Amino acid sequence: MAFEDRGGLPLSTTSPDAASAYREGVDLMLAGWTGTAETLERAIAADPDFALAHIARARLHSFYQQGDLARRKAAVARELVARRGTERERSHVETLALAIEGRLPEALASTLRHLEAWPRDAVVLSLPLGAFGLFAFSGMADHDQARQDLCERLAHHYGEDWWFLTMYGWAMTENGDVARGRGVTERGFDLRRQNAHAAHAVLHAMFEDGSIDEADRLVDDWIPSYGRAGILHGHIRWHQALGALEHGDAARALDIYADVLQPAATQAPPLNAITDGASLLWRLSAYGHAVPKTLWAEADTAAQKLFPKSGLPFADVHMALFAAATQNREALAARLGVIEQRLGDGKLPAGPVVPAICRALAKFADEDYAACAQALAPVVAEVVRIGGSHAQRELIEDTFVVALMRSGEVPRARKLLDARLHRRPSLRDRRWQAAMG
């Protein structure tokens, strides 16, 4: 009996239990739902020679920065698929393995080749999509457009697939087509409510169209169905904290931080853990709210263990937030040295925006706002190159706006706020405008 994956592509297993568990595990992974690891382990137990189950499990390990485990499972998958696997499965395994090994340009090239031949391979299609995908971390200035273009090319292959609609709609939202993006994402969410990526994508659309109170109600209504161990649980509450800050409610934002984001509480993957915590604390401080130094110190200690070395620009920028806020000039200088070396060697696709942001953050923390604004002005339009979502990257633009206001450059700050409000309604930006008169 032949078995197929969720897209109707053949699977090289003779075990009905392995095929069923693999399909379920992939759907759970694409939904960002709890139970993914256990379900994929069931698939492996039912057929230990099933390469695709091993590489999917490796992918999940990589989300949690369990690099050794991920690479070992990827190596096993490569061996198994060479012995028993179709051409599609061999390409699938190799593409995911490249991503797991951190060979991102090769992984992206392999992904695009693979999708030309097998467009309904959703696991491979998931690699370049999202705020932490291969496109976002490519250093490209137009990665939002690239994601939408890819989804549009493949849309006829997926129809009303709940996962594809989620990611297609989010790609539209990030690329500025917010109303259409929200509608498409909500269609996917309605098809499968147990889908954290859909809830998350809807929250991004609500952030962009100014539906802050509606977003807050969505989280309150939906989050009880999603376990705290869910890969996006903390990040979804982070979105709720951003909503609190829109209303100037620092106490509520700090309560959310204590509940799900601080190191002792978070169950998020390492990249989410450090970026969500650092960005929320920085926003609180930049917006004029008091942040206990102990919170920065605790979060910095945890972050240094997770990301002791320079690597991913998105992580490096957030590590610079820690270094700036804790006045750890040695840590920042060491990280900057590596970043500058990679830039000089042509191995930093995101380019000079990365060290410029890191230096500007240090100037901001030193209250040298004029120098901060001067450092950010030439690169603020290039911040997109570090990856992540618009909601995450807005932190840098917020820092620029505050630096302009505090250094007395009110006309420049007002012009920037006018442009932002044209793009996205924001209660905070309106308050800042009113404060400037």
Residue with the bigger pLDDT between 310 and 25: it is: 25
Task: Assess whether pLDDT exceeds 90 at residue 436.
Answer: no
Q: Measured between alpha carbons, how far is 240 from 87 in angstroms, rounded to an integer?
A: 44
pLDDT tens digits, one per residue of 340-385: 999 999 999 999 999 999 999 999 999 999 999 999 999 999 999 9
Question: Across residues 14-23, what is the average pLDDT?
Answer: 97
Q: Which of 17, 58, 12, 66 is nearest to 37 (CA)?
A: 58
Total count of domains within the chain = 3
Of 202, 226, 250, the residue that ends a domain is: 226
Co-location of 103 and 164 in the same domain:
no
pLDDT tens digits, one per residue of 266-309: 999 999 999 999 999 999 999 999 999 999 999 999 999 999 98
Co-location of 154 and 107 in the same domain:
no
pLDDT tens digits, one per residue of 109-155: 999 999 999 999 999 999 999 999 999 999 999 999 999 999 999 99
Co-location of 350 and 393 in the same domain:
yes
Whether 353 maps to a domain, the answer reads yes
pLDDT in the model for residue 1: 61
pLDDT in the model for residue 347: 92
Helix (H) or strand (E) holding 330, with range, is helix 329-344
Helix (H, G, I), strand (E, B) or coil at 13: coil
Co-location of 95 and 183 in the same domain:
no
Task: Assess whether pLDDT exceeds 80 at residue 27.
Answer: yes
pLDDT band at 437 (very low <50, low <70, confident <90, very high): confident
Residue 204, CA atoms < 13 Å, CB-side half-sphere:
34
Co-location of 105 and 212 in the same domain:
no
pLDDT tens digits, one per residue of 163-200: 999 999 999 999 999 999 999 999 999 999 999 999 99
Whether 391 maps to a domain, the answer reads yes
Co-location of 313 and 428 in the same domain:
yes
Co-location of 330 and 422 in the same domain:
yes
Of 226, 249, 267, the residue that ends a domain is: 226
Percent of the chain with pLDDT over 70: 100
pLDDT band at 310 (very low <50, low <70, confident <90, very high): confident
Whether 261 maps to a domain, the answer reads no
Task: Write the burial class of residue 248 (CB in 10 Å: 0-12 exposed, 13-18 middle, 19+ buried).
Answer: middle
Q: Measured between alpha carbons, how far is 16 from 45 in angstroms, rounded to an integer?
A: 12
Co-location of 219 and 94 in the same domain:
no
Whether 272 maps to a domain, the answer reads no
Co-location of 103 and 36 in the same domain:
yes
Question: Across residues 206-213, what is the average pLDDT?
Answer: 96
pLDDT tens digits, one per residue of 155-169: 999 999 999 999 999
Co-location of 15 and 91 in the same domain:
yes
- List residues bridging with 10 in a β-sheet: 4
pTM for the full predicted model: 0.96
Whether 302 maps to a domain, the answer reads no
Domain that residue 32 falls in: 3-125
Whether 157 maps to a domain, the answer reads yes
Question: Across residues 43-49, what is the average pLDDT?
Answer: 98
Give the domain CATH number at 18.
Answer: 1.25.40.10
Question: Across residues 215-221, what is the average pLDDT?
Answer: 98
pLDDT tens digits, one per residue of 388-420: 999 999 999 999 999 999 999 999 999 999 999
